[in-house]
Chains A and B, each alone.
Chain A
């Protein structure tokens, strides 16, 4: 109940802030605040990837819906092609869209609005995660999971071991769900003895050749569910998995262990499409979503890491083992060169697609 009265305080503060804003430059109300009845009679469509993830997001937004009086509709899964069709036809029905890493950077200003950061409180978002057209929706990681009874006393310790098929024989499974995995290509370049300091498109070829050199038995899984199935049935000896799926697989009895060294930092993004009918309502939703309490609910329900640094979700040990924001995990993360991959998105995608198609 204490949190409720604190929230009431927040609301009061927010109202004051809004009044002040009317006179002076605008100031975003603190993340998580919702003005009572502010969106009564309005409808917002929130688009994400379904499953427990979107359920968790909806739960995180429940207070926003209850207080603002907005009617929240859910749609999905996010498909950029569908969004493009909406923007081109001038009939945008998606108000807030959850996307994966790259799209908000690749289509910034064309499909996604450049964000007005005076309307959002980004002070508690982990450093370096706010883009020109996006704020993070949650954090997670891509980790290397190895099969316990295959490697016994001598397990792989890093990505170099992943690419070393002589010292570490066995089948590998790689995330082939869509966009190129920039972080993995960078690690392949590093394992090949190259450098990622000043990458060029020629380096992409080197990285992809290194991945291809793992051999013809490499599995490219298409969906998170498939990666989980591979782990639970013990089909592959090393599997690159999303942390949420890795956690669920281990919970279901998969005897695999994560390698945290240089786990690949990934995140989902929240965006506002170009041409939405009520931009301010979309901002209000995102600002509520970024709140401490909303992020706690999100993590407790989905096991993905919160993007509010003040959040302290209560989770059990099996979930905590796969959270990426715990101090000992956070320091081991590897951040891919987003700028490079966005600038070379088309080239990298073509080469990645060719790899997926066995060429």
Chain B
């Protein structure tokens, strides 16, 4: 062990009188050890997430032979790079659509009376309880060329619109499936905003738009960010909705992983795809984090 290291293991020269400190302080209360309280969740995460993830990562380096060949393959195959880029772009579009659709809705939930609020919450939750596959199939019926939306458009004398098997169709379907994940965090943040602050701004002469932009919007941003991150990350892994509503040009990475693993048995390549997606997500979040923190600080200051 080097002397310059700051790891606890290097502190061997100065043994901590651990027993002496711990002995008299021992308290039987569970609450004293927050880490203990997290144990069940941690154990579940390690067993159900950590271990499989580790296996997948290992296989991406070791299957069929040790090395980086799966990663070379990933980046040297044009279709993978195109689809990776497309996956992020679809996820971004879904996030934007969700923010735009959820923001006014969540605001309305804070503004109405308790009975109306219950109705609004149910409107969010009831579709949430229906399986994603069923909802996606409902979208097929709505969006297809001979579907309800196109029939109505044609009835009105316009040309039909191509919705199904396009990226637009995929974004519409995914946004609907993911909307609750945006509305609920937004609502929980908006509920805590003191509306008198807006009234104060108005009484000090701010126009409604300005009062909203300078007071309400910054205060609600933590909810926007929380919802956006959840929606964005969930979008990246979507499989069923793009498979049913999309065409070849809206295939997402999960579909490619599926075909590598399930039909070609290339666990290594499938694993490499998963790892690339995971790392790319982490990088993106790391880039976005300082931005969000700053905004958050600003929001709490105002």
| A residues in contact (CB < 8 Å) with B | 79-81, 84, 107, 178-179, 216, 218-220, 222, 226, 229, 233-235, 345-346, 349-350, 353-359
Contact = CB atoms under 8 A, between A and B. Distances in A.
Interface in B75-122: 77-79, 82-83
A81 B257 CA distance: 12
A353 B256 CA distance: 7
A350 B78 CA distance: 11
Contacts of A107: 265
Complex A-B, nearest 8 residue pairs according to Cβ-Cβ distance, in ascending order: A358-B248, A358-B249, A359-B79, A357-B251, A354-B79, A81-B262, A353-B259, A178-B263
Contacts of A220: 247-248
A77 to B, nearest CB: 11
Given A233-B147, A349-B264, A355-B248, 17 more contacts: A80-B262, A81-B262, A218-B247, A220-B247, A222-B244, A233-B146, A235-B146, A345-B264, A349-B259, A349-B263, A353-B79, A354-B78, A357-B79, A357-B83, A357-B256, A358-B250, A359-B79
B255 interface: yes
Interface string B245-283: 001111100011001111111010000000000000000
Interface of B: 77-79, 82-83, 140, 144-147, 165, 243-244, 247-251, 255-256, 259-265, 267
A235 B144 contact: yes
Contacts of A355: 248
A222 B243 contact: yes
Contacts of B165: 219
Contacts of B261: 81
A178 B244 contact: no
Contacts of A222: 243-244
B contact patch SS: helix
B242 to A, nearest CB: 10
A279 B83 CA distance: 44
Contact of A359 (B78, B140, B250, B264): B78
A83 to B, nearest CB: 9
Given A222-B244, A359-B79, A235 B265 contact: no
A356 B251 contact: yes
B252 to A, nearest CB: 9
A174 to B, nearest CB: 10
Nearest to B250: A358
Contacts of B140: 229
Contacts of B259: 178, 349, 353, 356
Contact of A81 (B255, B256, B265): B265
A349 B250 CA distance: 19
21 contacts: A79-B262, A80-B263, A80-B265, A81-B262, A81-B265, A81-B267, A107-B265, A178-B262, A216-B247, A216-B249, A218-B247, A218-B248, A353-B79, A353-B256, A356-B248, A356-B255, A357-B82, A357-B83, A357-B248, A358-B250, A359-B83
A234 B145 CA distance: 9
B145 A84 contact: no
B144 A233 contact: yes
Contacts of A357: 79, 82-83, 248, 251, 255-256
A355 B256 CA distance: 11
B268 to A, nearest CB: 13
A178 B260 CA distance: 10
A226 to B, nearest CB: 7
B247 A234 contact: no
A358 B247 contact: yes
Contacts of A80: 262-263, 265
B82 A359 contact: yes
A234 B146 contact: yes
A218 B262 CA distance: 24
Point out which of B249, B263, B267 has the most chain A C-beta atoms below 10 A from its C-beta.
Answer: B263
Contacts of A179: 263
Nearest to B164: A235
Nearest to B267: A81
Contacts of B255: 356-357
Nearest to B252: A357
A185 B182 CA distance: 45
A169 to B, nearest CB: 15
Nearest to B73: A350
Contacts of A350: 77
Contacts of B83: 357, 359
Point out which of A79, A234, A350 has the most chain B C-beta atoms below 10 A from its C-beta.
Answer: A350
A359 B247 CA distance: 12
A346 B264 contact: yes
Nearest to A225: B137
A211 to B, nearest CB: 11
A224 to B, nearest CB: 14
Contacts of A216: 247, 249
A297 B267 CA distance: 39
A219 B265 contact: no
Contacts of B78: 354, 359
A357 B260 CA distance: 13
Contacts of B256: 353, 357
B168 to A, nearest CB: 14
A84 B144 CA distance: 38
A216 B246 CA distance: 12
A80 B247 CA distance: 25
Contacts of A219: 165, 247
A235 B79 contact: no
Nearest to A107: B265
Nearest to A88: B267
A84 B265 CA distance: 8
Nearest to B147: A233
A356 B250 CA distance: 10
B244 A226 contact: yes
Nearest to B80: A357
B80 to A, nearest CB: 9
